Every structure is written in structure tokens, then in C-alpha cells.
Amino acid sequence: MITRRQFIESSLAASAVFSLTALPFAGHEARADGHAIRRYALDAKPSSHQFAKDGSPTDLWLYNGECPGPMITAKKGEMLEVIFTNHLDQPTTLHWHGIRNINAMDGVPDLTQAAVEPGESFTYRFPVLDAGTFWYHAHNMAWEQVARGLYGALIVTEDEEALNPRDVVIVADDWRLDQSDQIDTESLGSLHDWSHGGRLGNYLTINGQSRPAMARPGAGTMRLRLINASNARVLSFQLNNRQPVQVIALDAVPCSPFAQDTITLAPAQRVDVLIQDASRLDQLIEVSTSQPIDAAYFMAESNQTVPPLKPTMAEPWYSMPALDAAKVIDIHMQGGAMGNLSSAVFEGEERGLRDLAQNEGKLWAFNGQVGGYDLTLAELSLGDVVVLKVWNDSRWQHGMHLHGHHFWVASKEFGDAPKPVLRDTYLMEPGEKADLIFIADNPGLWLFHCHMLEHHAAGMGGVIAIS
């Protein structure tokens, strides 16, 4: 196996300045209301990709043969249309993470749509109502399909056709590779991973490259949009020698700026930061373990005048709602290694945890029931104010994600003092209790699950029905 130290010693920075390019779109079609349809095509297929300049090609599953998948861009208010074709040998779907979506377009197989079978196509068509940093990824057998590379960035801007050169997207991932630089397929489905922290990798990439050199302006302000595409690893980043930055958005939602010198992201989380002086930005360093990794380098673009970065909004999408008539939903999370769950209900039958683990691959439960698309956590009416009272009664971190909505939470992710923020994925520490507060303003069947993908597959998920 490739250790983190070996990774540092063997990987070389790219020789050319690297940038993440957007997927060309097929054109606009005017709608009656004056808005436009922005069309794309995505194909999921086996592909080969080289992570490092001197490395061996790795066999992956990618969208359009790119790692990460091509960046999709749209303007707020447009209709996004993506014609998706599956060239894999197993069914798959696309989930548009963080989009307050039409339920039928959310991409959860056997819940909001039928899985797209090998050789078949499906057209996703939905409005993008909010500007911000989103991403898309496979949502069938995601613990394998995302681990093989099926994800990409989705950026929605307020009024720009394309991202400003001062606006840089960073998609981070850790891969588990074997000694031949191939995906360690023997460990896929490992019950050890599923019962512990999830599938942790041994090789870090930024925008699909090992230690790339990334373009930046010579001076002035700069925005970084960080996305954690890992299966399970919580990533932490610092700039240079803990150069402080201003956090300006969380999971696509604008927030009142606050200073941080370390940016921590659970799987699926996004954090946008503002750098006041780009000339001081030299390195992006990953610091989640005792062996820091030089994740990326930044190089000033030469002979180019970069226009100034436009001011960003600081107001969240909606205010914390009044809780006088809120509906309270208790969610008691248990399971995993060294936990206190001895048995749980699965398919209507109470069974011991050892039996469930060995025979069903199930290790986690909500309220004593193994989760899945058949587990309804709540039945709500449109417009209800809801408090999910979540208790992480386990020994492991969990990144809890709610589809179709964003929720308010008194976050403990940024220090000892709770910070009220609006986001779609919240990192819960072992033993933590948190209230996730949202307005049920989007009808449909919405998944609530842990985005440590192995935890979700092993039972940590359920459905919130809004009608």
C-alpha cells in the first residue's frame, strides 16, 4: 500500500499550471418565461487516468473520461438539462448534491427514480434556484462508484457566464490504491471499513492530480471553492503557514464572513473562502493527520490582467424559522464498531448485530431500525417547521446530509463556541447531539443519511416524506 509519506516523497508537482475547465454546453433554448435551458451531456464509462506526471495510468470509472468529471456551470434561474448515458456494467444514477431540487430529479434509485441500467440514458432537467458551490456524484452503490471516480463540480453563478479567473474550484479526494497504482478493489465492501470510519484512502488528489501547480492572480482578492469528494475521510486544509482566510459560504449558502486558519470538510461538504491578497498564496496543505501533505501549489499567471472579484452576498437563503409550532423528530444513531447496538430491526425482524453484519452487511441503525429507503423517519406537511433532534450515539464521526433542503444548525465545526449556520451536510462528532432545523418547503421523498458512504450502505439512512 502507498503510505502518505511515500506519497509525499514520490509525487511531483505538475509541470504546467493546472486549472479545472468547464464542460462545454450545447446551447440555450429560450423558454416562455424568458429563462434559458442550459444543456449538457454526461457519459459514465470505464476510463484510464494518470494522477501524477511520472505515475502509472489508473483504471477508473469517470464522467466523459475526466477526473474529476467535467465542471458544469450554470447561472441562477436557468433550467439545467443533462442527458446522462450509462456505459458501465452496473446500474447508476446522478445526484445533484446541495441543489434544492425537484424530487423526481434528485437521483436516488428506488426512491425518486429507477436506476439507469447499462446502455440506457436518462435526462435530468431542473431549475437552479440558488447560486453557489455544488457537486454531482453517482448515487447507486455510491460506496464503490464514487470510490472509482464518478463525481464532478457544479457551480451556479449569480450572473456570470463563466467563473472569474479569481474564482478557483478545488475538488479534493483520497483514493485507496494498491501497489500497482490501481483502485484497491479487494477492499471494496470491507466490513471493517463499514463498521469503522468508512473507506479511507492512501493517495490524495486535487482536481484529479497529485500536487498540481494551480494558477492564481498576481495580487488582489481571490475565492477558493473547496469540495470534499472523498468516500469517508474528513479533510482539513491550511494555506501556507496557517494563513487565515475568510469563510464566505458553507455548502453553497452565503454566510457572514468569519476568519479560519484551518478549513475542515466532511465528505460532501463545501466551503468557499476569500483570500485578501492572492500574492501571499503559495501552498495548499492537507493537515488531517500527523503527516501534513503538500496538496497543491499556486503560481501567478503571467502577462494577464485579471478583473476584480465581484462582491459576494453575505445573507443566507432564509432565516432561522420560529420554533413555536415546530415538529420534532428524534433520530437516535447507533451502531458500528465499539458501539452500544446489540440488535436492530431489519425487514420487520429483530436480529442481532453480528447476524446483521455477517449476513446482510448492516451495522448501523436509526431509532433501533436498520436504515434504508423503506424506513420513513417522518411524514410532514408542506410548510412545516421541523427539528431533527439527532444524537450520534456512536464512536465515529458522521457527516449527516439532507436531500432537497438546507437546515440551520448550531455548528461545533469551527471551534468551541457554537456558530449558527445554514448547510446541507453537518459533521457530527461521537456523542454529539444536534438540532437540524429546516422548513419542509419542497415536496417529495427526501433521503437523510450519513455521507460517509459506507455508513449509508450499512444502514445509516432513512426517508423524510413531505406532502
Measured in whole angstroms, the distance separating CA 449 from the mean position of its chain's CA atoms is 13
At residue 151, φ and ψ (nearest 5 deg) are: -165, 165
Q: Are 363 and 353 in contact (CB under 8 A)?
A: yes
Residues 217 and 260 in one domain: yes
Q: Which three cell numbers stand for residue 441?
A: 418547503
Q: Are 430 and 392 in contact (CB under 8 A)?
A: yes
Rg over alpha carbons for the chain, rounded to the nearest Å, is: 21
CA dihedral 300→304→307→312, nearest 10 degrees, is: -30
CA dihedral 226→229→231→235, nearest 10 degrees, is: -20
**Distance from C-alpha of 283 to C-alpha of 298, rounded to nearest angstrom:** 6
Residues 339 and 273 in one domain: no
Residues 333 and 294 in one domain: no
Q: Is residue 344 part of a domain?
A: yes
Which of 99, 108, 164 is CA-nearest to residue 127? 99
The yes-or-no verdict on residue 332 having pLDDT over 70 is yes
Q: Are 329 and 386 in contact (CB under 8 A)?
A: yes
**Distance from C-alpha of 164 to C-alpha of 155, rounded to nearest angstrom:** 12
* DSSP tag of 341: -
Residues 169 and 57 in one domain: yes
Q: Is residue 318 part of a domain?
A: no
Q: Is residue 403 part of a domain?
A: yes
The yes-or-no verdict on residue 277 having pLDDT over 70 is yes
pLDDT grade for 12, boundaries at 50, 70 and 90: very low
Q: Is residue 103 part of a domain?
A: yes
pTM value is: 0.94
Q: Is residue 307 part of a domain?
A: no
Q: What is the pLDDT of residue 397?
A: 98
Tell me the residue type at 268.
A
Residues 347 and 288 in one domain: no
pLDDT grade for 242, boundaries at 50, 70 and 90: confident
Q: Which three cell numbers stand for residue 142?
A: 455510491
Element counts in the chain: helices (H) and strands (E)? 5, 34
Residues 100 and 27 in one domain: yes
Q: Which three cell numbers stand for residue 285?
A: 496543505
Per the prediction, the chain carries an average pLDDT of 92
Q: Report the percent of the chain where pLDDT is more than 70.
A: 92
Q: In 3-state terms, what secondary structure has residue 467? A: coil
At residue 256, φ and ψ (nearest 5 deg) are: -60, 125
Q: Report the percent of the chain where pLDDT is more than 90.
A: 84
**Distance from C-alpha of 410 to C-alpha of 99, rounded to nearest angstrom:** 22
Helix (H) or strand (E) holding 192: helix 191-195
pLDDT tens, position by position, 79-95: 999 999 999 999 999 99
The contacts of residue 115 (CB under 8 Å, 6+ apart) are: 91, 92, 93, 109, 140
- For the ranges 177-191, 274-288, 308-322, 332-346, the lowest mean pLDDT is seen at 308-322
pLDDT tens, position by position, 163-187: 888 999 999 999 999 999 999 999 9
Q: What is the pLDDT of residue 4?
A: 39
Task: Name the strands in the sheet holding 407-411, side by side, starting at the edge strand that comes first in the sequence.
Answer: 364-366, 327-335, 385-392, 433-439, 407-411, 419-423
Q: Is residue 312 part of a domain?
A: no
User: What total of structural domains would you count in the chain?
Assistant: 2
pLDDT tens, position by position, 140-149: 999 999 999 9
**Distance from C-alpha of 370 to C-alpha of 386, rounded to nearest angstrom:** 23
Residues 209 and 335 in one domain: no
Q: Which three cell numbers stand for residue 466?
A: 413531505
Domain with 419, as residue range(s), is 327-466
Place of cell 463556541: 417
Q: Are 266 and 228 in contact (CB under 8 A)?
A: yes
Q: Is residue 3 part of a domain?
A: no
The contacts of residue 467 (CB under 8 Å, 6+ apart) are: 379, 380, 381, 382, 443
- Angle (CA) 335-336-337 rounded to 5° is 130
**Distance from C-alpha of 183 to C-alpha of 250, rounded to nearest angstrom:** 31
Residues 386 and 458 in one domain: yes
The yes-or-no verdict on residue 19 having pLDDT over 70 is no
* DSSP tag of 226: E
Q: Which three cell numbers stand for residue 159?
A: 450572473
Q: What is the pLDDT of residue 416?
A: 83
Residues 378 and 421 in one domain: yes
Domain boundary among 300, 335, 357: 300
- Cα atoms found within 13 Å of the Cα of residue 317, Cβ hemisphere only: 22
Residues 277 and 346 in one domain: no
The yes-or-no verdict on residue 8 having pLDDT over 90 is no
The yes-or-no verdict on residue 25 having pLDDT over 90 is no
The yes-or-no verdict on residue 206 having pLDDT over 60 is yes
**Distance from C-alpha of 456 to C-alpha of 5, rounded to nearest angstrom:** 30
pLDDT grade for 1, boundaries at 50, 70 and 90: very low
Q: What average pLDDT does the segment 427-445 reach?
A: 98
The yes-or-no verdict on residue 18 having pLDDT over 90 is no
Q: Are 69 and 152 in contact (CB under 8 A)?
A: yes
Q: What is the DSSP string of 58-79?
A: EEEEEETTBSSEEEEEEETTPE
- Angle (CA) 240-245-250 rounded to 5° is 125
- Cα atoms found within 13 Å of the Cα of residue 214, Cβ hemisphere only: 31
Q: What average pLDDT does the segment 106-131 reach?
A: 97
CATH of the domain at 394: 2.60.40.420
Q: Are 289 and 229 in contact (CB under 8 A)?
A: no
Q: Is residue 322 part of a domain?
A: no
The yes-or-no verdict on residue 104 having pLDDT over 70 is yes
Residues 97 and 173 in one domain: yes
Residues 243 and 368 in one domain: no
